[in-house]
Amino acid sequence: MTETYKPEWVPEKDDDKFACRVMYGVKGGHEGMPGSNVDLSRKSAPVIKRSKMTVDDYVEGIIKGDRMTLSRAITLIESNAAAHFYIAQQVIQRLLPYTGKSTRVGITGVPGAGKSTFIEALGNQLCVEGHRVAVLAVDPSSTVTKGSILGDKTRMETLSRQKNAFIRPSPSGGTLGGLTRKSRETLLLCEAAGYDTILVETVGVGQSETTVRSMVDFFLYVVITGAGDELQGMKKGVMELADAVLINKADGDNKRRAMVTRAEYARILQFLRSATEKWETRAYTCSSVTGAGIPELWNEVIMKFFSQGKENGVLSERRKHQTLSWVYSMVEEHLHNLFYRSPSVLACKDKIETDVVEGKLPPTIAVQKLIAEYAKTEIGDYIKETSPFAIK
Amino acid sequence: MKAKIMFLQEVRNSVDDFAEREGRRPRIMLANFGFAENNHDITETATVLADMGFDVDMEPWGRTYIDVAQDALDNDVHVIGINSIKGEYKSLVVKLLEELASYDREDIMLVISGHIEAHNIKEMYELGVSVVLVDNCYEKFAKGILSGLETILF
């Protein structure tokens, strides 16, 4: 018989008159219950160390077109650790001769405009035509917790299964402008690995995602119907940099509205100076779901842009400018690293910080002091690690 | 069920510390083997881990283990979190481990981030899973992942 006991609320003197008895509860071992007697300690999963790769491994693997090496190289490039920086620079330097041959297309738009879905449709089409497509998709990192949720691949279900497609989602890591700090280098790695079409998808934010313009040839702005009036398009920002404006979701009930929106954008675009010389920025419609309009956009607009650009030299001119702007963005990054990793700055940083917080030191004087400390820095090992180009 | 998070800041600090040494945040891919597009469990796990400072990769639903392994390699994640609505993990774990081994990438950790019956947990560890999310206790889960990565990476 099951064990039972008298409930504690039974009055003591009436003990015998109460017939009520209570069964004991389940003592652990029951699924989902805290304190279950299942052994939860880690048992056997063997620890396998991550393999180390040298510069040669990276370079050879990428030239061979090995996906796994490419993906690990991108990790290396994106790394913030000082130890990775030097070797990443070497990898890039040795791969530079293999880059520059691809079609670089940047895609931006507001969140939910359908950028990822558009890439899914376009990428599949390109893969069928025999292209090798690399997609760099950036999603925002939290400014509060620094974590991120990378969801672009959920929209690229069939494209991610294609053998000829490589999709790499990356967190923006707090960089403004809609891309990661290292998007350009990532793009170059993909080119070296033999991908002939690179699609760069920015964070979906809207009016200032302009960094991508400085690293792609063709810049596509994806919009949807019902997103503001003419004034939104006239504002300085994305619109004046776009080589084509694409009204997505032109299907079903939305088709008529998309046509109206297209006409509106076309009207604004007549007033804007076009982003590329000798090229007229126009508005087009497409549907990523049905695929309507996408082949036409690629073959008749984007391909025409490239053939025309190669003929009249606008493209090579653009790439030269982009290389220059890359130089200066790298200079800025090196200076940033040199300052923040300088041993003499690090040594006095804490004290200056507390002084400023307590109000003993005005911020302007603190800046002077920090810069003075930085000027005292001796050229040491730290420079070789942080900035291999700065060795005197 | 509302996730239980008591020592959020503590976990965040250790994640930051990890990111400092590794050069990037711990990156986990949540593989959705279920057959529902909006899997509530995955949404919860993803947001909680992102709040702790992880980079969380989301996967389309209804993937096979071959797709998942390929995606994990392309994204170069540290950890794959397996999520199956029905709680049937055994064959998935075995197949996924084999697939990763065929690429010589057994350093990618396998964890179970979905609902699992308590009496199956021991078996999972024996199969080669590193951490299991028990009782929705995400701190323990995150700490387990970080200490696992510690031995694999450094």
CATH of residue B111's domain is 3.40.50.280
Summarised one tens digit per residue, pLDDT across range A188-247 is 999 999 999 999 998 876 656 678 888 899 999 998 887 655 566 556 678 888 899 999
**Could you give phi then psi for residue B36, rounded to 5 degrees?**
-135, 135
pLDDT the model gives residue A233: 59
For residue A207, what is the enclosing H or E element? none
Q: Is residue B19 part of a domain?
A: yes
Query: Do A329 and A272 reside in the same domain of the chain?
Result: no
Structural domain count, chain A: 2
Residue A81 has pLDDT above 70, yes or no: yes
Q: Is residue B15 part of a domain?
A: yes
User: Which of A286, A312, A338 is a domain's end point?
Assistant: A312
Residue A259 has pLDDT above 60, yes or no: yes
Q: Which amino acid is at A65?
A: G
In chain B, the residue whose alpha carbon lies closest to the alpha carbon of A66 is: B74
Per the structure, the complete domain to which residue A367 belongs is given by 321-390
Residue A37 has pLDDT above 80, yes or no: no
pLDDT the model gives residue A212: 85
Residue A298 has pLDDT above 50, yes or no: yes
Query: Do A274 and A295 reside in the same domain of the chain?
Result: yes
Query: Do A359 and A291 reside in the same domain of the chain?
Result: no
pLDDT the model gives residue A130: 93
Q: Is residue A27 part of a domain?
A: no
Residues in B touching A169 (Cβ below 8 Å): 57, 75
Name the band, by pLDDT with cuts 50, 70 and 90, for residue A38: very low
Q: Give the nearest partner residue to A145 out of B51, B57, B153, using CB atoms.
A: B51
Q: Is residue A332 part of a domain?
A: yes
Q: How far is A72 from chain B (nearest CA, A)?
A: 6
Q: Is residue A141 part of a domain?
A: yes
pLDDT higher for B123 or A128?
Answer: A128
For residue A257, what is the enclosing H or E element? helix A255-269
**Could you give phi then psi for residue A200, rounded to 5 degrees?**
-105, 115
Contact of B89 with B119, CB cutoff 8 Å: no
Query: Do A195 and A255 reside in the same domain of the chain?
Result: yes
- Whole-angstrom Cα distance, residue B49 to residue A300? 45
pLDDT the model gives residue B39: 65
Summarised one tens digit per residue, pLDDT across range B16-71 is 999 988 999 999 999 888 666 556 778 888 999 999 999 999 988 878 889 999 99
Q: Is residue A75 part of a domain?
A: no
Query: Do A338 and A301 reside in the same domain of the chain?
Result: no
Closest among B76, B70, B61 to B96, alpha carbons compared = B70
pLDDT higher for A369 or A204?
Answer: A369
Place of tokens 């880690």: A42
Query: Do A142 and A284 reside in the same domain of the chain?
Result: yes
pLDDT higher for A74 or B123?
Answer: A74
Residue A8 has pLDDT above 50, yes or no: yes
CATH number, domain containing residue A346: 1.10.287
Summarised one tens digit per residue, pLDDT across range B77-90 is 999 998 876 667 88
Residue B1 has pLDDT above 60, yes or no: no
Q: Give the nearest partner residue to A74 out of B15, B71, B76, using CB atoms.
A: B76
Q: How far is B122 from chain A (nearest CA, A)?
A: 6
Cα B56 to the center of its chain, rounded Å: 9
Query: Do A230 and A284 reside in the same domain of the chain?
Result: yes
Partnered with residue B117 across adjacent β-strands are none
- Mean pLDDT for chain B? 86
CATH number, domain containing residue A173: 3.40.50.300
Q: Is residue B153 part of a domain?
A: no
Place of tokens 């004046």: A240
Q: Is residue B135 part of a domain?
A: yes
Per the structure, the complete domain to which residue B66 belongs is given by 8-147
**CB-based contact B53 A32, cutoff 8 Å:** no
Query: Do A358 and A234 reside in the same domain of the chain?
Result: no
Residues in A touching B56 (Cβ below 8 Å): 147-150
Residue A261 has pLDDT above 70, yes or no: yes
pLDDT higher for A374 or B2?
Answer: A374
State mean pLDDT over A58-73: 94
Query: Do A296 and A377 reside in the same domain of the chain?
Result: no
The share of chain A scoring above pLDDT 70, in percent, equals 86
Query: Do A300 and A326 reside in the same domain of the chain?
Result: no
Touching A: B residues 27-46, CB under 8 Å: 46
Residue A36 has pLDDT above 50, yes or no: no
Structural domain count, chain B: 1
State mean pLDDT over A1-7: 75
Query: Do A158 and A273 reside in the same domain of the chain?
Result: yes
State mean pLDDT over A51-67: 92
Name the band, by pLDDT with cuts 50, 70 and 90, for residue A43: very low
Judge whether B53 is closer than 8 Å to chain A, CB to CB: yes
Residue A42 has pLDDT above 50, yes or no: no
pLDDT the model gives residue A107: 92
Residues in A touching B68 (Cβ below 8 Å): none
Residue A84 has pLDDT above 60, yes or no: yes
State mean pLDDT over B96-113: 91
Residue B6 has pLDDT above 80, yes or no: no
Q: What ipTM was predicted for this assembly?
A: 0.91
Closest among B98, B87, B85 to B127, alpha carbons compared = B98
User: Which of A271, A295, A312 is a domain's end point?
Assistant: A312
Residue A392 has pLDDT above 60, yes or no: no
State mean pLDDT over B97-115: 90
Residues in B touching A148 (Cβ below 8 Å): 25, 50, 55-56
pLDDT higher for A382 or B5?
Answer: A382
Summarised one tens digit per residue, pLDDT across range A321-363 is 999 988 988 888 888 878 887 888 888 888 898 999 998 889 9
- Mean pLDDT for chain A? 84
The CA-atom distances, in angstroms, between B13 and each of A51, A122, B17, B54, B56 are 27, 42, 6, 12, 18
Q: Give the nearest partner residue to A71 out of B67, B76, B117, using CB atoms.
A: B76
State mean pLDDT over A290-296: 92
Return the number of other C-beta atoms located less than 10 Å from residue A290's C-beta.
13
Q: Is residue A70 part of a domain?
A: no
**Could you give phi then psi for residue A268, rounded to 5 degrees?**
-65, -40
Query: Do A285 and A357 reside in the same domain of the chain?
Result: no
Q: Is residue B126 part of a domain?
A: yes
State mean pLDDT over A134-143: 90
Q: Is residue B75 part of a domain?
A: yes
Name the band, by pLDDT with cuts 50, 70 and 90, for residue A286: very high
Residue B113 has pLDDT above 80, yes or no: yes
Name the band, by pLDDT with cuts 50, 70 and 90, for residue A173: confident
Q: Is residue A46 part of a domain?
A: no
pLDDT the model gives residue A347: 85
Highest averaged pLDDT of the listed ranges A48-57, A285-294, A339-348, A368-377: A285-294
For residue B60, what is the enclosing H or E element? strand B55-61
Residue A64 has pLDDT above 80, yes or no: yes
pLDDT the model gives residue A187: 94
Residue B12 has pLDDT above 60, yes or no: yes
Q: Is residue A334 part of a domain?
A: yes
Q: Is residue A208 part of a domain?
A: yes
- Whole-angstrom Cα distance, residue A48 to residue B108? 9
- Per DSSP bridges, beta strands A4-5 and A22-23 are antiparallel
**CB-based contact A81 B153, cutoff 8 Å:** no
Residue B72 has pLDDT above 80, yes or no: yes
Q: Which amino acid is at B96?
A: L
